[in-house]
Structure 1
């Protein structure tokens, strides 16, 4: 068993690079549109409507963004549930990405909600609808965001040299690790349940009673995919050692998850008879085929042990998993969503710039933390 007391160090290096400044410009542009949203109202910067009350802010920042941010959840399952201690060194950076992803998802909800000043009502017991799946998602996402920062706090406390607080947090971590596994299991599946409520508005190629299970499986697969993707990115762009063997082992898990997902999804389509919609004209069949093709590409690469040992193929297959899972959510929540005649939606410039700003801010924060705080395990 690998020693689970790894040494973590900041990687150092110059922070204020041209890429960092470019990201900062995107953040400033997004901040401008965000300011307009809060001064002039949501209609000033978005094309949201009664037919499409959820645009890219919810579809990407929350539904897709939290799935992409499932790296911490996926690695916690691997290390703490399946006792694979050799992957423990990758937990901290996975938690960092997850904490950022969930925090910014919460921030995007504040931008998206019309009467944001009443958002606190969600947490008041007298206003809670205990039969609401949306309430469960809101409470779980909020609590999980807090849990992620508590799980990640040892890195911050180490950087601050707060030894007493660090000892206290480490003694309590086992409780938060348990919560950190339970909560995303609940809300990632519940995000799929939101579509069941939408009924016929969701295209039959995506509407199914088992969509909560499909959302959960793909979220876990995307979590492993983003861990591989980020690790390879750090190795190439931040001068880190390639952990090809460890990443290959993580990659080996993904095709099994995707195979289960495809068997369930395609089997359900065949049994329900909704597979007939694959042969109808329109954009939806091509979107479905693109999703499946991306998943199959990842399966083809990652089931082959030799291909998994090649960083380039590992990188592209991990990216394919993340893109396929994101497209699946975009199709179900937005592109293949039809509220009825007369309703159309395409994101406004303000919506797109705010979303790009959120992504840019996350990358900037990631670069700051890995360069200035002990996040990544020290290269041997």
Structure 2
């Protein structure tokens, strides 16, 4: 008997579906009439909303999958497995949307078929390396999703094949993100003389890589709280607090290196000169890095879920603002007075991608074993909560399986 697929159509989901369809319509117009006719991009502002949100921010926020897999399978944090599947699903959907964003931002999209042709590769192109790594990692994640799919589809032959390639898939799945996360920062190393000194640094690839790692637990936390609320469950606060604490230490190190880098390059005073640029920089590293790091490291975080999710939200917003500062704030002075405001098509496509991603997440969660088993709630009478035996981990357990 084949499994039955379900999807509850609520009013919110209908609105998301309409937004996704409208976004698809704008995407079709872009493919037919080109970037010039549908966007407000120009020679002075060649990269805009799609590069900021759909690519730079999207790749960073989707980093929860590889960071969680690294912590669980290579650093032995097996007690964090309850959030691994949800982190992986968020990452997979995020990377699919990133691929769509990259495709839409290509000027000559009809030549995209040439990317896999190794004899035509440009070894000196950062964008070529980025495309290869992102596409390769997306394929790896689709293969990893097969481990979850076979639990629902019950395909023993496919399960046997996947079990044999588990180790190399896991290694490749950890390695590729390390390459393209830093490559995104390398793109802006090419903008020497254009990017503001507050952000232009030879450490920019490292900053992009590290921020993608510590925003992973934050994004997993936000996603876990939203998913738990939507499905009437309790988020695994204890596990999330442990992950957040590790992210907090990394964020403090990131903040310190950032300050030392500014001082070393002689632009530390520019960060406090009171200009709009310096204010946005201070908001990025202050409210987006330092404050949530201190909240993550505060005692008793596991018993303060509101503080945990607040700090996680600040971290996500901080990384998004950091990418926006690189794309917009840091490049504004070199634009020669030209301004940029996203067109209706740009906003519509971005909103459509986000809506499609949310709908895809909801569908998979409702039809596959993604979320951890629901914990019984404490009775209102104050009776003791029954002891729940932990879910046993099977020998040879694969990525994202439980």
Q: Pick from 29, 32, 57 the counterpart of residue 64 of structure 1.
A: 57
For residue 126 of structure 1, report the CA deviation from its aligned partner: 3.4
The reply on whether 1:211 has 2:216 as its aligned counterpart is no
| Residues 15 and 367, structure 1, Cα contact 8 Å, conserved in 2 | no
Residue matched to 2:256: 263
Residue matched to 1:329: 323
For residue 155 of structure 1, report the CA deviation from its aligned partner: 1.3
For residue 285 of structure 1, report the CA deviation from its aligned partner: 0.6
| Residues 54 and 350, structure 2, Cα contact 8 Å, conserved in 1 | yes
Residue matched to 1:360: 355
SS of match in other structure, 2:192? helix
Residue matched to 1:240: 233
Select between 305-314 and 63-72 the one with higher mean Cα deviation.
305-314
Q: Specify which structure has the higher proportion of helix.
A: 1
For residue 14 of structure 1, report the CA deviation from its aligned partner: 6.0
What RMSD in Å do the two structures reach over aligned CA positions? 1.7
Residue matched to 2:374: 379
| Residues 68 and 222, structure 1, Cα contact 8 Å, conserved in 2 | yes
Q: Pick from 221, 225, 229 the counterpart of residue 214 of structure 2.
A: 221
The reply on whether 1:176 has 2:169 as its aligned counterpart is yes
Runs of at least 4 residues off by over 4 Å:
none
Alignment partners' CA distance in 2, 1:277 and 1:377: 48
Select between 25-34 and 117-126 the one with higher mean Cα deviation.
117-126
Q: Pick from 269, 275, 278 the counterpart of residue 268 of structure 2.
A: 275
| Structure 2: gaps spanning 5 or more residues | 376-402
Alignment partners' CA distance in 1, 2:286 and 2:359: 32
- Which of 1 and 2 has greater Rg? 2
Residue matched to 2:307: 313
For residue 345 of structure 1, report the CA deviation from its aligned partner: 1.4
TM-score (norm 1): 0.93
Going from structure 1 to structure 2, the CA distance change for 1:236 and 1:13 (only over 3 Å counts) comes to farther
The reply on whether 1:290 has 2:283 as its aligned counterpart is yes
SS of match in other structure, 2:190? helix
Q: How many residues align?
A: 370
| Residues 241 and 301, structure 2, Cα contact 8 Å, conserved in 1 | no
Residue matched to 1:231: 224
Alignment partners' CA distance in 2, 1:133 and 1:243: 39
SS of match in other structure, 2:217? helix
Residue matched to 2:152: 159
| Structure 1: gaps spanning 5 or more residues | 1-9
For residue 122 of structure 1, report the CA deviation from its aligned partner: 2.4
The reply on whether 1:16 has 2:29 as its aligned counterpart is no
